Chain A
């Protein structure tokens, strides 16, 4: 199993980044031109970044979940690579959510933080997946992949329960169905598309890094005899 990077990745990567950057630029432009919401004013436009980021987060961690299962089933390191990469990018999006959320909340409800379900669940999500990375980084051996996969599965499975619990605990303040005029809706959709493609581009980029790391470790297999003097584990 030779971890060379498939040739077509390079082309796909460039295409994705080009599309992502273009779409993001367009979505920002559209957002700036979108009608200003009556009650909140310009700050409402954060939603064009906030909502897609939230969805991207969930998709990213969903991919981690699926890839983790695939790794445990096949023991193919590439699935673990995908899981970890997606998780990393998911963290970035989650951070965006955690920043844009309070900014929005400050404007809408005059408070930086509120214990409303989605925000709280995202906070828990963020902590859990940060833990994923810390645990993963603390393990140096092959067990790292299995342990990471287990975490990827367990955290995701637990998520709906956490969400529901907090909802029950608090009652929902989060706007559920926001009324949007057509221009706003289109802007939002473009924003979603933009950030999805951004996710894909970033994911591919991160996967390349994973491949490189694995290839380097792999090439040491051809190295000369192991050094002496170190006690065996």
Chain B
């Protein structure tokens, strides 16, 4: 699945954040997106994840406009942002089963446990998420993104606040995704963590996406 954005423009009130941003995510790739604070990386990620709509520009999935296939697209895109996108009062198992069920995942509870085991969070499956440390929470966030076995993975600052083990988990997920043919986009301030894995490096500047050195 190829996710392509072209000519994306987005402004908030009078501040123009994205001017003419474009990006393409292809299967089996790991794209690194760098950029200064406030350069619009998270906004672009949110737009690609279909949570925000651009003022101008087009987003296509395998050539078809996103708006036409929004439900299917949402289920093929896994998004992990720095907001948890979880219910803090529920346990990981409850959260994942709930979202999995709504997203049409068969046997959501089983899939949930599978993911929790894979990410090393099985022992904590039944404790409310609000008690978790940053590192533990991040793994649940990742698990939610992986629920539907997405073809596109969007990770916004996945390494923030993680220790070495946590970083290794994220990278393992990315490696695995690449092998399965999933296309990944990683937005980060700590490029050294993921540079070895990246197939492409881009930079956000003046509201546009450019190739980086």
Which A positions have Cβ atoms within 8 angstroms of B? Answer: 140-142, 216-217, 220-221, 223-233
Q: Is B183 engaged at the interface, CB distance under 8 Å to the other chain?
A: no
With a CB–CB cut-off of 8 A, which chain B residues contact A220? 11, 14-16
With a CB–CB cut-off of 8 A, which chain A residues contact B42? 232-233
Q: Is B9 engaged at the interface, CB distance under 8 Å to the other chain?
A: yes
Indicate if the CB atoms of B16 and A223 lie closer than 8 Å.
yes
Indicate if the CB atoms of A232 and B41 lie closer than 8 Å.
yes
CA distance A220 to B207 in the complex (A): 13
CA distance A140 to B15 in the complex (A): 12
Indicate if the CB atoms of A226 and B16 lie closer than 8 Å.
yes
Known: A225-B207, A226-B17, A226-B206. A141 touches B39 (CB 8 A): no
With a CB–CB cut-off of 8 A, which chain A residues contact B205? 225
CA distance A231 to B41 in the complex (A): 10
A-B contact pairs, 24 of them (CB 8 A): A140-B13, A141-B13, A216-B14, A217-B11, A217-B13, A220-B14, A220-B16, A225-B205, A225-B206, A225-B207, A226-B17, A226-B40, A226-B206, A226-B207, A228-B36, A228-B38, A229-B37, A230-B37, A231-B37, A231-B38, A232-B41, A232-B43, A233-B12, A233-B42
Interface string of B9-53 (1 = CB under 8 A from A): 101111111000000000000000000111111110000000000
Indicate if the CB atoms of A232 and B40 lie closer than 8 Å.
yes
With a CB–CB cut-off of 8 A, which chain B residues contact A216? 14
Query: How many whole Å from B163's CB to the nearest CB in chain A?
Result: 23
Most chain A CB within a 10 A radius of its CB, from B14, B17, B36, B207: B14
With a CB–CB cut-off of 8 A, which chain B residues contact A141? 12-13
Which residue of A has the minimal Cβ distance to B157? A232
Q: Which 7 A-B pairs have CB atoms at the shortest separation, nearest pair first?
A: A232-B42, A225-B206, A230-B38, A220-B14, A228-B38, A140-B13, A217-B14
Indicate if the CB atoms of B37 and A226 lie closer than 8 Å.
no
Query: How many whole Å from A77's CB to the nearest CB in chain B?
Result: 11
CA distance A16 to B37 in the complex (A): 51
Interface size on B, residues (CB 8 A): 20
With a CB–CB cut-off of 8 A, which chain A residues contact B15? 220, 226
| Other A-B pairs beyond A226-B38, A232-B40, 11, CB < 8 Å | A141-B12, A141-B13, A220-B16, A226-B15, A226-B16, A228-B36, A228-B39, A232-B17, A232-B38, A232-B41, A233-B12
With a CB–CB cut-off of 8 A, which chain B residues contact A230? 37-38
Indicate if the CB atoms of A226 and B13 lie closer than 8 Å.
no
With a CB–CB cut-off of 8 A, which chain B residues contact A232? 17, 37-38, 40-43
With a CB–CB cut-off of 8 A, which chain A residues contact B17? 226, 232
With a CB–CB cut-off of 8 A, which chain B residues contact A228? 36-39
Interface string of B130-157 (1 = CB under 8 A from A): 0000000000000000000000000000
Indicate if the CB atoms of B12 and A227 lie closer than 8 Å.
no
CA distance A221 to B55 in the complex (A): 11
CA distance A217 to B13 in the complex (A): 7
Query: How many whole Å from A75's CB to the nearest CB in chain B?
Result: 10
Indicate if the CB atoms of A226 and B39 lie closer than 8 Å.
yes
Of B12, B38, B40, which is within 8 A of A229 by CB? B38
Most chain B CB within a 10 A radius of its CB, from A140, A221, A230, A231: A221
Query: How many whole Å from B52's CB to the nearest CB in chain A?
Result: 9
Query: How many whole Å from A147's CB to the nearest CB in chain B?
Result: 15
Query: How many whole Å from B134's CB to the nearest CB in chain A?
Result: 17
CA distance A224 to B16 in the complex (A): 9
With a CB–CB cut-off of 8 A, which chain B residues contact A227? 38
